[in-house]
Structure formats: structure tokens, C-alpha cells
Amino acid sequence: MHSPFCRRRCSYCDFAIAILRSSSDVDRFLDGISLELEHFGDSLRPRTLYVGGGTPSRLAPADLREFFARLDRTIDRRSVLEFTVEANPEDVTPDRAVVLREAGVTRVSLGVQSLDPETLRQLGRRHTPEQVRHAVTLLRDAGIRSINVDLIFAVPGQTPSILDADLTKFIELPTHHVSAYNLTYEDRTPLRSLELLGRLTRQEPDSELVAFRLVHERLAEAGFAAYEISNYAKPGHQSLHNLTYWNNEEYLGVGPSAVSCVGHVRWRNEPDLDVWFSTLRQGLRPVADAESLAPDRFIGESFALALRTSRGVLLSRLERRARMPIDRERLDRIVRLMELRLLEREGPRIRLTPRGRELADCVAAELI
Amino acid sequence: MTSARIRNFCIIAHIDHGKSTLADRFLEITGTVRKEALEAQTLDSMELEKERGITIKAKAVMMKYKADDGQVYTLNLIDTPGHVDFSYEVSKALQACEGALLLVDAAQGIEAQTVANYHLAERAKLRIIPVINKIDLPTARPELIEEEFENILMLERERVLRASAKTGIGVKDILETVVRDVPPPTGDPNAAMRALVFDSVFDDYRGVIVHVRVFDGSFGRGDKIRMKGVGSTHEVLEVGTFVPGSMIPRERLRVGETGYMIANIKTLSDVRIGDTVCLEKEASTVVALPGYKAPQHMVFCGIYPTQNKDFDQLRRALEKLSLNDASFSYTPESSDALGFGFRCGFLGLLHMEIVQERLERESNVDIVQTAPNVTYEVVTTSGDVMRIESPAQLPDASQIEEFREPVTKLDIIAPAEFVGGLLGLAIERRGRFLHQEYISETRVMLSFEMPLAEIIFDFYDKLKSLTRGYGTMDYEVIGFRPAHLVRLRILVSGSEVDALSTIVHRDVAEQRGRKMLVKLREEIPRHMFEVALQAAIGGKIIARESIRAMSKNVTAKCYGGDITRKRKLLEKQKEGKKRMKMVGNVEIPQKAFLSVLGITRDAEK
């Protein structure tokens, strides 16, 4: 579920967001979610729920409660194993913590990004390290089972020692999961504009590699295992929801710009809140674009996704799901990538080696 | 008309010294062409020739001139190519003449090519009339030029004429001197017919038009003739003489005359310059005119379409071009790196450039030209002599007894202040100094023996920049000499890249190899692994470079909303790889081959 509202846009963000201006925006969002869910009938039985955005935590406690209530009208919650909500640290108040707990949220993902004030400023984030610690305490006290913190590294000016100190602070937080992202410079973001204007210099690939390795090493030492290229978890705290993406399995997305994938068809909702809502009001599906994945494309894409995970690809399972054998050319390439020690065999599975993880996109381009 | 009142002559001049303007003046004075009807430079008909200011193909023009002695003379002006690449064609054009005007610019002085062509004319035993042109120029220094004539060509000062083709000053004197000094053609009107082929052009409607000079006897329409050298037989459809822009048919061409012959000949390759035309019935008894040679290709390069699909179009363009230029050859070849293309042979470097420009202009195909190489000779251990036109033809090193390369005599004329720099350049290029001669107080002629391979590799550009544009050069291939030559191999990740191997002198192999590796390093993108680049002679590595492995290439975030976009990016990346050439595990972009093999041409040449 995509809740689009943000207070402001962060410097690196290119998501479909809406700046929250009036309560009528929220009403339309809530009404739209109800309309969209009605399309799927009243018996959805998902394994996982994920409310992301945008910033779901920008909703007032009452609106948040109303949002969860509307989900309950069409979703059978008994099947849900994991229920994640994204939140900004500064939004986590005692009120909201209570709402989350009462709604049955099991996992909260906090947009921390850094615990270094200078790095936070660079990224255009408003919160303080103190607010982060406070949020984590509140969530734990509220009984949230699993807490994730997002981390961004390779920020301009961030030396290895600054990053190292930042990592120490992350590890000291009593959390269960870290999503550690190399900073990216997406088109049409404030960050990219600053780069184009020459006001900041992105880190060299070599320094980014040093940072990537440092993150991996420090988190591993602290008991966070890398189960995906950018995701680290303590045992039992992997995100089941996100694993469905990497395993190229089925999911339904609701809300503006949300993406769904069912039966090898993928579609994306209208990103604009008003367009999304008015389409739903007309009784139509708010689909902006859709594509059907032919078996060969499905196979290529599945390699690109599943190789991101530490479990890698089970060839026999992939063949069964694609309903076709993996072609000779791809098998030859796999052998070649194994010779280059970028891929390795782990039982019946194929997965990236540590060096392969650093070049995951090159490997994926070979097999796509 | 008897041959006593015929004068066959030509003009020898450096580019831009005024040959075409003088020819125009002759046409005007003799009333052959009215002034207003004159194209700017009548004799240079090809657009390209006009632009480059040089004449590629010889032409002949007949003029009637009433001399001061009251007699009317037939003057045949035979145009000659100005560049030494065409020295064989020049020598055949000279052979058709009894006299030559040696035309020198009053401001520029004698240039290297003028000297070379003068020696050709002397060897052909022509009567030489020295003329200083452009004496109307404020910068004219005719006394200095006369000194150069004396010093370098041993021509007496008193015989040197002064003229301005532009204003017409002295031009009539030149014609009078031609009539008076150039001997009339000799030859026996009753002997068996012999005519020299000194040029040929292809006409879309009439086939090959053969330029001939009759040395004995006469012939005309209906005669069955034989080409002595080629051995083909044809029936003559028409003979005649040239005036600018048209051909005038005649009954017969007689002893001493120059003109044309049309005999239903379909391709230029059936006609060899220097061949002897005789009557079929006398063919077995007639002795051929001296000096016939098949064209010698000394410089080769590969010409490839940049797009493989254009191969057929390129082949058609080359076919068409060869109709007009029998001295260039092309044979299909394929290269691992560049796909399908042609190996083309040329008389020399300028010839190669002319062909390439005409191709680009006339064919609409984007082409890639590889760096040129010369023809080598290899004597094998079994005693056979092989001609090597491409590194791929080289036998194994163990079978090579001797490796020979073409060597030239190179003459350079330049202001004296540049002698030091020129000697340095020549030594760097394996030149052997022969002698130096002051042609005037300020200008020097330097002579070297230098391998042709060193000249075709940007030597002319270096000479020009070293002498601030004042230096001129000329060369003549004087034979093959043994040299310490090796095949330089380029290896990428341990696999040899055939398309990049070259033949070089052992002394420069390391330097050349390193240069190539540096270029490759710049053009091959970083891979998932380190890529080793090596230059080797046989199994011995003489230079190495490496391309570091890519440090990191991984998308940070990949969730539901990112998947389609990411897949499209990866698919694009994969598409890009398809256009690269795989050598072992390494993907080499076409651009890398071009930067190593391609040559950049200098527009002002």
C-alpha cells in the first residue's frame, strides 16, 4: 500500500509523493483505498502487508486508525504473517505507537538514513539522532516485534571514518534489521541538480566500494546477516514481504503509483493522487501502464532479482514457474560467470559470490 | 601534313605553380578555345582534381599554331599527373613527347617533385625548356630561381624563359621556343604500325577511350588491332584527336600524332598504360615499345563499411571507381574486428587518399580505413619469394629466411634553417643520409634512403609541421632491402587479436606496441575482471598494460516499483554488448579497433 504523503521532498527522493496540504487530500486517499480494495472483492488473504510511501506516518493518529479500519473491511488478517509500516523517526509519537500496535503491525521500518547530523543535513532529513533513539524505544515499548532502520552511505564528503562512526551508532540501536543503501543520484532530484550545478561531487566508484565493504563487514560482525545486497537482518527478522519482490512472486499494490504483479502481468497505478482518485470514482481501475512477462523475459528478470538474495536462484524451481527450460546460452553464461568467480554453486542453488555482489548489475546484464 | 610540323610536349610543374593557367593561355592564343568559353582550368576536369589543385589523369589536347615563321604547326599538349605516386604514368606520358616545359613559380622556387619529374624527363631524352612563371608577383625572385635552375638542374641561366601565365607576358615566346627547340617526332610512316598507350579513361557510353601516340605507320577505323602486352584483340571503331571538351573523329592517326582510339573495350583493366598497340596481322613481328610494366601496388589498406549491411554497396562503389582508375586494386577480405571489407592496393599514399575521398564523395557509404601498410617480400627457407600484402599472409617465423621491405630514395627541399630538425626526423624514421645540396643560399635539398613503411606513416604531416609548411618531398621506390622486421602481435586477455597485428621494424616494435596498448586501454571499457593487454613478438611479450576491473556496479534499491525500470536498464546494457566484438572473455567496442587501426587524415593535404 502506497501512502503518498510527505512533509517535504528529501534531496535524493524520486518517488511519487504528495505534499500533505489539507484534510480533504487524506479523505480522498482513504476513500480511494476503499474503492480500490473493493475491486478485489472481500476475501483477500495476503501473507504479508506493507504500508509504504511517501510517509504513512504523516497521517494523523485518527486518520491512521481509519486507514487500518478500512483495510480490515476487505482483507482477511488471519493469514498475515508480517505487517510492516514505514515511518519517519520524528513522526513516532506515543499516540501513533499505540495505533500501530492496536492495528497488529509487527514491523516498523524507520527512515533513519544516518545518525550523523552533517550527513542528515546533506540528505535533507529533518530529524535528529536523539529522535531516532526515542522512536526506537517507543516502538519497542509498544511491542513492535521487528524494527528496521534505513541507512544511506557514500554521501558526498562522507569519509570512511565518518561512515564507520555512523555504523557504530546504528549497531548500538536495539533494532533487528538494517537496509543499507548506496546513495543514488536519480534524475529530477534535488541531489542530481546540485551535482549538475557542480555544488557537490559524488564519490568515486572506488570509494563507494570501500564504503560498501565497510558496511558489510561492520554489520556482519554485529550479527546482521546480508540476505540481500542492501538488506541485513538478525536471525528471524528478514522481511518476508520484500523477499516476494526478489523471488518475483505475486503481490497486489494499492494507492497512487503502487505496482502489482499477478500471473506474470505487472501493472502500475496512476502516480498522481487526483488522477488515481478520479479514475476510481468513475468505477475504473487506476492503471497507468501494464506489461505481460513472456517466459524468457520472466526468466531473465527472475535471475536479476533472485541473485540479489543470499539464497540465489533454484534453477529447477525457476524452470517450473516459467514453464520452460533455461536456454543453453544462459547456462553457458552461468558457467562462464562461475569461472570468473562471480557466481557460485550452493547445493542446488546458484548465487553471487562476495565479489559478484559488488558487480551484481554486470552479472544480471549477462543473464537478463 | 607531315610530322615535321608536329610538336608533342608536356608541362612539368609542382602543384599550384601555374600549369593549368598556362595551358589555358595556350588554348586562347592558338584560338583553340575562345577566352569566354574557357572553364577556369580546362584540363582538370574532375571536380576532385580541381579542389586538390592536382591533375590525376593525363589528357592530351591538339592545338593549331601559326608561328612567326609563317608556318602552321600542330601542337599536342600532353598533360601529366603531378605526383610521384603516378611516376609510371608520368613516364609514359613523357614517352609520348619530344619536349617538356619545366615550369617553376617565381616566388616558390623549385620543389622536390619538380626535381623528380625533371629527372624522369631527362631520362626520356626530352628537350627541356625551363620557364619561370608568375613573374608579375611582387614576391617574384626570378634571379634566385635561375640560380636554383643552375645549381640543382645544371640548366644554363640563359635558356630560362620568364612568363606570367596569368597576364600573358612571355607566353607567346614559350610557344615559339617549343616550335623552334622541340624536335619533330621521328618514325617511319611506312613501317608496321606501333602506338604507345599513355592513358585511358572510361566513358559510360563509349567504353574505354584509349590515349595513344603513334610511333610508326598509321591506323584508323576498321583496323583489327592487338594490345601487345595484354594480348587482347579489338576492332577499331573510331580514332581522332582531342580539343578541350570534345573529340574530333579522324580517318586515321599517323606517325608522330597523338589522339584517341575507341575499340569497344569494356573495362579499363583490359588496357594497360605503356602497352603497345599494333595491327593484328603484324602482331607477331612487331617489336613492342620499351618500358611496359604492370602497375605496382606499393601501399595497401583495408577499406570496410562501418555498417556490415553496406558491404554490397561498397563493392559496387569500388567496381565503379576501378572503371576509372585501373591502377587501384581491391579484393574482398574479412577481419575479426571489422567484419567484411576489401583489401585495396594503391600506387602510393596520395593515390590512396584520392581513392578514399572519391569513395566517400561518390558512394554514400560510411567507410573505415585501416592504417596503410606496404608490400613486403619474404624469402622462405625453401627459397621461394613471397609478396606479403597483409600481416595475415606471413608464414611462420621459422620458415622465414629473409624479410625485405621496399626502400625509397627520398628528396626533401626545405629552407636551410630546418636541416637539423629534418635530419632528426629522418634518423627517427630509419633514414640513411645520402647527401645535401644547397640549391640557393637559403634552400637545401636533402636526400635519404628511407623505408617506404616509414614514409606512409604520417611522415608528410611531420615534414610539413617541422618546416612550417615550406618543405616539399618526393620519393621513388628503388628496391627491396632485407630488414629486421617482425610481426607485432596484440593479445587481449591472452588471446591474439588478428586484426591488430602489424609488421614493424624490430627497433620500433616496443614503442609501436606500447602506443597501441595505450589506445586500447583508453577505448576498452572496464570489465568484471582485470583485462591484460600485451604486445608480443612471437612468444615474447614486449609491452603490457592492464585495464582494472570495474570496482562496483550494483543497484542499491530494488523493490516492486523499481523492477521494470531496472530490467529495461539491464536489457539496454545487454544490447550494447551485442555490438561489441568478443575476444576470449573481453568485449571490445568497434571504436577501439578504429582508434588503433584507423588513421586520421589531414584535410589540407
Q: Which of residues 279-318 of A touch B (CB under 8 A)?
A: 291, 297, 300-301, 304-305, 308
Q: Per the omega criterion (within 30 degrees of 0), is the bond before A41 cis?
A: no
Per-residue DSSP letters for A281-310? Answer: HTT---EEEEEE--HHHHHHHHHHHHTTBS
Q: Residue A182 and residue B563: Cβ atoms within 8 Å?
A: no
What are the pLDDT digits (tens) for B179-188?
A: 999 999 999 9
Which residues of chain A neighbour B573 with C-beta distances below 8 Å?
361, 365
- Residues B80-122 have pLDDT tens digits of 766 656 777 788 889 999 999 999 999 999 988 888 888 889 8
* Contact yes or no for B567 and A301 at CB 8 A: yes
| Residue B54 confidence (pLDDT) | 39
Chain B positions touching A301 (Cβ under 8 A) are 563, 567
3-state secondary structure B132-198: EECCCCCCCCHHHHHHHHHHHHCCCHHHCEECCCCCCCCHHHHHHHHHHHCCCCCCCCCCCCEEEEE
- The set of residues, in sequence order, having a beta carbon less than 8 Å from that of B502 and lying 6+ positions away, is B371, B373, B391, B487, B488, B512
Please tell me the CATH superfamily of domain A2-246, with its number.
Answer: Aldolase class I (3.20.20.70)
Instruction: Measure the CA dihedral B270/B271/B274/B280, to 10°.
Output: 80
Cell numbers linked to B543: 609491452
Report yes or no: B577 at the A interface, CB cutoff 8 Å: yes
* pLDDT value at residue B57: 43
Question: Do B154 and B109 form a contact (C-beta atoms < 8 A)?
Answer: no
Nearest CA in chain A to B549: A359
pLDDT band at B556 (very low <50, low <70, confident <90, very high): very high
| Beta-carbon contacts below 8 Å between A and B | 96
pLDDT at B245: 67
Average pLDDT (B226-247) is: 88
Are B405 and B374 a contacting pair, CB within 8 Å?
Answer: yes
Tell me which chain A residue has its CA closest to the CA of residue B584: A336
**B35 confidence band (pLDDT: 50, 70, 90):** low
- Interface probe with A: pick from B530, B557, B570, B577, most Cβ of A within 10 Å: B570
- Domain spans in chain A, listed from the N-terminal domain onward: 2-246, 296-367
Which of A246, A300, A358 lies at the smallest CB-CB distance from B554?
A358
Separation between Cα atoms, residue B557 and residue A181, nearest integer Å: 7
- Taking contacts as CB-CB distances below 8 angstroms, the residues of chain B near A342 are 528
Write the pLDDT tens digit of every residue in B280-310: 999 999 999 987 776 677 888 888 887 788 8
Per-chain mean pLDDT for chain B:
86
| CB pair distance less than 8 Å for A358 and B577 | no
How far, in Å, CA of B262 to CA of B210, rounded? 6
Q: Do B556 and A357 touch (CB under 8 A)?
A: no
Residues of B in contact with A340 (CB under 8 A): 528-529, 585
Check CB contact under 8 Å for A205 and B566: no
Set of chain A residues whose Cβ sits within 8 Å of the Cβ of B585: 336, 340
For residue B515, the distance in angstroms to the closest alpha carbon of chain A comes to 27
Closest CA to B198 of B150, B126, B149, B259: B259
Contacts of B563 in chain A (CB under 8 A): 245, 259, 261, 266, 301, 305
Contact B566 A308 (CB under 8 A): no
Cα gap A72→A63, rounded to integer Å: 14
Sorting pLDDT into bands at 50, 70 and 90, what band is B568? Answer: very high
**What residues of A are in contact with residue B582 (Cβ under 8 Å)?**
none
Inspect the interface and report whether the beta carbons of B564 and A268 lie closer than 8 Å.
Answer: yes
Residue from B529, B550, B551, B552 to probe the interface with A (highest A Cβ count within 10 Å) = B552
Query: By CA distance, what is A356's nearest residue in B?
Result: B528
> Which chain B residues have a beta carbon less than 8 Å from that of A360?
553-555
Q: Which range (A130-139, A349-358, B44-53, B267-276) has the least confidence?
A: B44-53
Q: What is the mean pLDDT of residues B267-273?
A: 81
- The answer to whether B528 faces chain A, any CB pair under 8 Å, is yes
Residue of A nearest to B548 (CA): A206
Tell me if B560 and A182 make a contact (CB, 8 A cut-off).
Answer: no
Three-class secondary structure of residue A27 per DSSP: helix
* pLDDT at residue B36, as a whole number: 56
Structure confidence at residue B577 (pLDDT): 80
The backbone region for B207, taken as left when phi is positive above 0, alpha when psi lies in -120 to 50, beta otherwise, is left
Q: If you measure CA to CA, which chain A residue comes closest to B573?
A: A365
pLDDT score recorded for residue A193: 92
* Helix, strand, or coil (residue A80): coil
CA distance A13 to chain B (A): 12
Is B276 in a helix, a strand, or coil?
Answer: strand
Q: Do B552 and A365 touch (CB under 8 A)?
A: no
Chain B residues close to A362, C-beta within 8 Å: 528, 550, 553
Q: Which residues of B touch A361 (CB under 8 A)?
A: 553-555, 570, 573
> Inter-chain contact A304–B564, Cβ cutoff 8 Å?
no
Query: How many angstroms separate the CA of residue A94 from the nearest CA in chain B?
Result: 30
Within 63-122 of A, beta carbons closer than 8 Å to B belong to: none
The secondary structure of A199-217 as a DSSP string is S--PPPHHHHHHHHHHHHH
Q: Does A257 touch chain B (CB under 8 A)?
A: yes
User: Rounded to a whole number, what is the distance in Å from the CA of B571 to chain A's nearest CA?
Assistant: 7
Helices (H), B430-470: 452-456, 459-466
Per-residue tens of pLDDT for chain A, all 368 residues = 999 999 888 888 888 888 888 888 999 999 999 999 988 877 789 999 999 988 999 999 999 999 999 999 889 889 999 999 999 999 999 999 999 999 999 999 999 999 999 999 989 888 999 999 999 999 999 999 999 999 999 999 999 999 999 999 999 999 999 999 999 999 989 999 999 999 999 999 999 999 999 999 999 999 999 999 999 999 999 999 999 999 999 999 999 999 999 999 999 999 999 999 999 999 999 999 999 999 999 999 999 999 999 999 999 999 999 999 999 999 999 999 999 999 999 999 999 999 999 999 999 999 99
Confidence of residue B325 (pLDDT cuts 50, 70, 90): confident
- Please tell me the least confidently modeled range out of A42-56, B1-15, B32-46, B47-61: B47-61
Chain B partners within 8 Å of A260 (Cβ) = 560
Asked if the model's pLDDT at residue B322 lies above 90, the reply is no
Q: Which residues of A fall within a CB distance of 8 Å from B561?
A: 15, 257-259, 268
Closest to B529 (Cα-Cα) out of B587, B589, B595: B587
Indicate the pLDDT class of residue B39, thresholds 50, 70 and 90: low
CB nearest to A251's CB, from B557, B560, B585 = B560
Q: How far apart are CA A98 and CA B222, in angstroms?
A: 116
Asked if pLDDT for residue B55 goes beyond 70, the answer is: no
Which of these ranges, A257-261, A311-315, B198-202, B274-278, has the smallest mean pLDDT? B198-202
- Can you tell me the distance from the alpha carbon of B197 to that of B208, in angstroms, rounded to the nearest whole number? 12
CA nearest to A48, candidates A238, A291, A293, A299: A238
Residue B575: closest C-alpha in chain A: A365
- How far is C-alpha B547 from the geometric centre of its chain's CA atoms? 40
Share above pLDDT 90 across residues of chain B, in percent, rounded to a whole number = 50
Distance from CA of A305 to the nearest CA of B (A): 8
Residue B575 in contact with partner chain A when CB distance is under 8 A: no
Tell if the CB–CB gap between A181 and B557 is shorter than 8 Å. Answer: yes
Q: Can you list the positions of beta strands (E) in B452-537?
A: 472-482, 485-492, 495-496, 502-505, 531-537
Decide if pLDDT at B473 tops 90: no
A216 touches chain B (CB under 8 A): no
Q: B555 — contact with chain A (CB < 8 Å)? A: yes
Residue B333 has pLDDT above 80, yes or no: yes
B554 touches chain A (CB under 8 A): yes
Q: Does the beta-carbon distance from A308 to B558 stay under 8 Å?
A: yes
User: pLDDT band at residue B589, thresholds of 50, 70 and 90?
Assistant: confident
| Contacts for B62 with CB less than 8 Å, ≥ 6 apart | B32, B74, B75, B76, B241, B242, B243, B248, B258, B259
**Nearest-CB residue to B564 (from A266, A358, A361):** A266
**pLDDT band for position B271 (cuts 50, 70, 90):** confident
User: Which residues of B fall within a CB distance of 8 Å from A229?
Assistant: 554-556, 558
* The C-alpha cell that represents A301 in the structure block: 528478470
CATH top-level class of A296-367: mainly alpha
Task: Find the residue in A nearest to B561 (Cα).
Answer: A259
Cβ contact, residue pair B561, A258, below 8 Å: yes
* Residue B83: per-residue pLDDT: 62
Please tell me whether the interface predicted TM-score (ipTM) of this complex is above 0.90. Answer: yes
Amino acid at B308: N
**pLDDT value of position B598:** 61
